[in-house]
Amino acid sequence: MRPPPLLPSFWDRWSGLRLLDAGLGIWTGLVFLFLYLPILVLVVYSFNDSRLNVVWEGFTLDWYGRLWDNTRIARALKNSLVVAGFTTVLSVVLGTVGAWLLHRYRYRFGSTLQTLIAVPMIMPEIVMGISLLILFTTAGLKLGFFTVIVAHTTFCFPFVLIAVQARLQGMDPALEEAALDLGATPVRAFFLVVVPYLRPAILSGALMAFTLSLDELIVTFFTASAQVATLPLLVFGMAKVGLNPMLNALSALFIVATVAFVLFSEHLRRLGRRAP
């Protein structure tokens, strides 16, 4: 009787790989189902003709119409966009300039400064919110747009700074030196050579800052006044009262806008690759 082979045959290995691929595919499908099924249910129930929004009672667009006519939500959305816009601009300026200075010059306490800049990124939001509230109250500042923008910029600009710093690590110093040799001033070389090279990092940091500011709740809760209620604050207050179908409609609109923005960005990226 011939002994069994020590190594598995080609058929056994091929079958095992196919079984492994099938198992990984099923697991990946379950993960995506777990992530996106609640979003799909939310979008579907935004068309539910039920005030309780628990049991499906029929199709309607009434909640979208009420959402369109709701002046509180429109005002809160405007406040959120204004705060996020100013926060993004300030974060891009501070983050880009700060990253360039830390990259160009060597400071005695550079590592300590780098650590302090990263603290807002890891600090619990409730601690930051209370700390900023105490700071504004001690300084005699009235809570409003200014305090919210300052608070949002505090924890948003480090994301821009880190993204720009990562881009600067791969920059060839000869680019700026060539611009200086050709007669450009340091400021002109910065805007004509350095900034275009950093554009992808600046854009990604700006998108991160805008998203974080638009979505922020806890820090805004401590630093905003009743007249400067942002959309997250309003949604949080409406959700505490009970299930409101308008929140489903609002969430569905944000989901559609996010998907459209991602598809548009991907289209621009592909056009950039095809360009000569």
Residue range 128-157, pLDDT digits in tens: 999 999 999 999 999 999 999 999 999 999
How much is the average pLDDT of 98-102? 88
Q: Could you report the per-residue pLDDT of 214-241, keeping only the tens digit for each? A: 989 999 999 998 888 899 999 888 887 7
Domains of the chain: 71-232 (1.10.3720.10)
According to DSSP, the residues that pair with 48 across neighbouring strands are: 59
Q: What local confidence, expressed as pLDDT, does residue 275 receive?
A: 45
| Mean pLDDT of all residues belonging to the chain | 85
How much is the average pLDDT of 101-128? 82
Higher local confidence (pLDDT), 14 or 23: 23
Which has the minimum average pLDDT: 41-50, 212-221, 259-268?
259-268
How much is the average pLDDT of 197-210? 90
Residue 48: strand, helix, or coil? strand
Which has the minimum average pLDDT: 7-21, 76-90, 149-163, 245-259?
7-21
Residue 265 has pLDDT above 50, yes or no: yes
At 266, list the tokens. Answer: 């991907």
Q: What local confidence, expressed as pLDDT, does residue 175 receive?
A: 82
Distances (CA, A) of 62 to 66, 69, 164, 198: 6, 11, 46, 46
Q: What is the pTM of this model?
A: 0.81
Separation of alpha carbons 163 and 201, rounded Å: 5
Which has the minimum average pLDDT: 12-16, 96-100, 107-111?
12-16
Separation of alpha carbons 240 and 238, rounded Å: 5
Query: What angle, rounded to 10 degrees, do the helices at 245-274 and 62-69 form?
Result: 90
Higher local confidence (pLDDT), 147 or 19: 147
Q: What local confidence, expressed as pLDDT, does residue 219 receive?
A: 93
Alpha-carbon torsion 85, 90, 91, 95, what sign? positive
User: b vs e for 62-94, b when ≥16 Cβ sit within 10 Å of the residue's Cβ?
Assistant: ebbeebeeeeebebbbebbeebbebbbebbbeb
Torsion of CA 195, 107, 149, 253, to 10 degrees: 50
Find, among 119, 110, 125, 198, the residue nearest to 157 by Cα: 119
At 248, list the tokens. Answer: 């489903």
Q: What local confidence, expressed as pLDDT, does residue 14 receive?
A: 61
